[in-house]
Amino acid sequence: MSYNPIKLLIAAAWFYASYHALAMLEKRDMTERNLFWSNLFAFFAGPLVIVYLYTYDYVVRTLERMGMRRLARKRAAIKIEIRDSTGKVFAAEEANERSEVPFLTRKILFDAVKAGASDIFFDPKSDGSYHVRYRCEGMLNEVAVWSQEIGSGVIDSMKLASGMDTTEHRRPQEGSFSGIVRKDTSVGFHSAVMGAVGGEKLSIHLSENASAPQKLADLKMRLDIQNSIRQALAGRGGLILLCGPSKSGKTTTLYSLFHEIDCSKYNVISIEDPIFHALDDISQLEVSNRSGFTCGILIRNALAQNPDIIAVGEIRDRESAMACVNAARTGHLIVATLNCRDNRDMFERMANLGVAPHDLVEVLQLSVSQALLRTLCKKCRQSIALPDVYREIFTGLGLAQDQLCSASGCRDCDGSGYAGVQAVFDALEMTDALKTQLGSQNTSIQQIQQTLDQQFGNAPLYCEALSLVATGVTTFEEAGKINATPGI
Ligand SMILES: [Zn+2]
């Protein structure tokens, strides 16, 4: 066969295009099976796949611009399932089959979750239009402008899902619903609506994501902490607290605990706000302050059902904090989440909620605190040397320094340098010795914190985070969110 540079060049270009096509396919939302066949095809016919993808995107965009979303809608994969305030699947289509409203309702929620927004605002303007804005990392940005018909239609859908009165357009109302995104992540939506000039103003707050129940091991929790949890659950009495700041994944951990219990053999009641996942073998109750079913009242009602275990979505107020402690004191096992920084902070937070330290020490079996860190994108992370400021603590903790990485940014991670999250955990087991040490009537919060500092160091979560930094999983910047001072 004679050597022909032109043919060689064409072959090289062809395979380069195939490589590019594979990268393009990887960014698409596809099932694993479809992705496999598409990849196989793209490997041999890359240029054709590229032409197809560009044409497809162009057609979808044009249709969207022309307002003909019906076809585009079928193609665009909006993977969110909305659950109304009672946890049932919400079919927006039933109310509004012919219009764009059901599609836009789902799309605006799905996009908000994808963008990592903490709030969505729907503002009516005096000209009758509706402006939609997301709050992402504290900044507001406009994402859509809708006609009055669409705007009020979407707001009606959201009100219906939140369990609000849709015939009421002026009086302020509050409610909540949830959504399951891409089948595995659940998001809580807390909505508030009120009449304003031009229509109704709706604000939706996106709360902590809770992934579908998974095993404790899947959370990459250390084995000794898993065992502490199993031991505390086997005790069948007292209080187990799951602590962490908001969006640290506490609810995911709470759901994972249900995996550790054979719920069919025990009477388990879970009190949630809102209900993220419908679970078999567990009685789930939703908090509704509007109807007078506060968390504290539901805990007291649950006790009448003679439960073995009560799970509390979050202790938010004095009433629920006291109800949890009292229920734990009467021989029930209570598992609850608490919004606070860590185990050390937990005593102070509970004291602020009216639970005296010695009462808490009496019933507390275990407190697990956690923080969520973004993990580095494996495709673009870059090796770095250990900064001097960390030298001492790395030596102190016996951490290696040959795998340290920093964030860089590539197409796969949309330039952020990060992909995915991982939690770090710290468990405070209330052994008899510790209970005797902390449980005296007049032990102050400061004394408790001092004792904990002496025994466990004052930043165990931060040390856990640094061990993830040492293995190239995350960065010093992420770990710094737990503790702002390098070293300790
Ligand atoms: Zn990357």
pLDDT digits (tens, 9 = 90+) for 262-279: 888 899 999 988 777 778
Q: What is the pLDDT of residues 224-239, one digit of tens each?
A: 999 999 999 998 799 9
User: CA-CA distance, 156 to 269, in Å (whole number)?
Assistant: 32
CA of 185 to the centre of ligand 1 (A): 22
Who has greater pLDDT, 283 or 97? 283
Q: Give 142-189 as a DSSP string.
A: EEEEE-HHHHHHHHHHHHHHTT--TT--SS-EEEEEEEEETTTEEEEE
Output the average pLDDT for the chain.
86
User: CA-CA distance, 177 to 80, in Å (whole number)?
Assistant: 13
Cα angle, residue 287 at apex, residues 113 and 106 outer, rounded to 5°: 25
75 pLDDT band (50/70/90 cuts)?
very low
The predicted model gives 420-442 an average pLDDT of 91
Indicate the angle between helix axes 318-329 and 295-303, nearest 10 degrees: 20
The predicted model gives 50-79 an average pLDDT of 69
Residue that the structure tokens 């596809």 belong to:
30
365: three-class secondary structure by DSSP: strand
415: three-class secondary structure by DSSP: coil
**DSSP β-ladder status, 283-286 and 364-376:** unpaired
CA of 48 to the centre of ligand 1 (A): 27
CA of 470 to the centre of ligand 1 (A): 19
Q: What is the pLDDT of residues 372-413, one digit of tens each?
A: 998 999 999 999 999 999 999 999 999 999 999 999 988 877
Residue 24 has pLDDT above 90, yes or no: no
CA of 45 to the centre of ligand 1 (A): 26
211 pLDDT band (50/70/90 cuts)?
low
- Residues of the chain with pLDDT > 70, as a percent, come to 90
Exposed (0-12), middle (13-18) or buried (19+): which is 303, by Cβ within 10 Å? middle
310 pLDDT band (50/70/90 cuts)?
very high
The predicted model gives 22-33 an average pLDDT of 66
* C-alpha 109 chain-centroid distance: 14
User: CA-CA distance, 121 to 144, in Å (whole number)?
Assistant: 11
Q: What is the model's pLDDT at position 263?
A: 86
Radius of gyration (Cα) for the chain, nearest Å?
Answer: 26
CA of 356 to the centre of ligand 1 (A): 48
Who has greater pLDDT, 88 or 362? 362
The greatest distance separating any two alpha carbons of the chain, rounded to the nearest whole angstrom, comes to: 94
Task: Domains for the chain: give ranges and CATH numbers.
Answer: 5-75 (no CATH), 80-207 (3.30.450.90), 211-480 (3.40.50.300)
Nearest to 159 by CA among 145, 146, 171, 147: 171
CA of 77 to the centre of ligand 1 (A): 24
The predicted model gives 209-215 an average pLDDT of 68
CA of 380 to the centre of ligand 1 (A): 4
Cα angle, residue 376 at apex, residues 484 and 178 outer, rounded to 5°: 85
The predicted model gives 311-328 an average pLDDT of 95
Residue 212 has pLDDT above 50, yes or no: yes
CA of 412 to the centre of ligand 1 (A): 5
* C-alpha 275 chain-centroid distance: 14
CA of 417 to the centre of ligand 1 (A): 5
CA of 375 to the centre of ligand 1 (A): 11
CA of 407 to the centre of ligand 1 (A): 8
Q: What is the model's pLDDT at position 411?
A: 83
Residue 319 has pLDDT above 60, yes or no: yes
CA of 378 to the centre of ligand 1 (A): 7
Indicate the angle between helix axes 250-260 and 223-234, nearest 10 degrees: 60
Residue 69 has pLDDT above 90, yes or no: no
CA of 386 to the centre of ligand 1 (A): 21
Exposed (0-12), middle (13-18) or buried (19+): which is 444, by Cβ within 10 Å? exposed
Q: Give 104-140 as a DSSP string.
A: HHHHHHHHHHHTT-SEEEEEE-TTS-EEEEEEETTEE
The token pair at 164 is 């609000």
Cα angle, residue 477 at apex, residues 471 and 482 outer, rounded to 5°: 90
CA of 475 to the centre of ligand 1 (A): 14
Residue 240 has pLDDT above 70, yes or no: yes
CA of 411 to the centre of ligand 1 (A): 6
| Cis peptide upstream of residue 274 (ω within 30 degrees of 0) | yes
CA of 259 to the centre of ligand 1 (A): 33
Identity of the amino acid at 443: T
CA of 438 to the centre of ligand 1 (A): 47
Strand partners, 174: 192
CA of 203 to the centre of ligand 1 (A): 33
Residues in the chain: 488
* C-alpha 75 chain-centroid distance: 27
Tell me the range of 93-97, 213-217, 478-482 where mean pLDDT is highest: 478-482
CA of 418 to the centre of ligand 1 (A): 6
**DSSP β-ladder status, 333-339 and 364-376:** unpaired
Q: What is the pLDDT of residues 32-52, one digit of tens each?
A: 566 777 778 878 888 888 888
210 pLDDT band (50/70/90 cuts)?
low
CA of 448 to the centre of ligand 1 (A): 43
pTM of the model: 0.70
CA of 466 to the centre of ligand 1 (A): 21
The predicted model gives 314-322 an average pLDDT of 95
CA of 413 to the centre of ligand 1 (A): 4
Strand partners, 316: none
User: CA-CA distance, 401 to 414, in Å (whole number)?
Assistant: 28
Contact 368, 225 (CB under 8 A): yes
CA of 376 to the centre of ligand 1 (A): 8
CA of 212 to the centre of ligand 1 (A): 26
Residue that the structure tokens 């399951």 belong to:
180
Q: What is the model's pLDDT at position 209?
A: 61
Q: What is the model's pLDDT at position 50?
A: 85
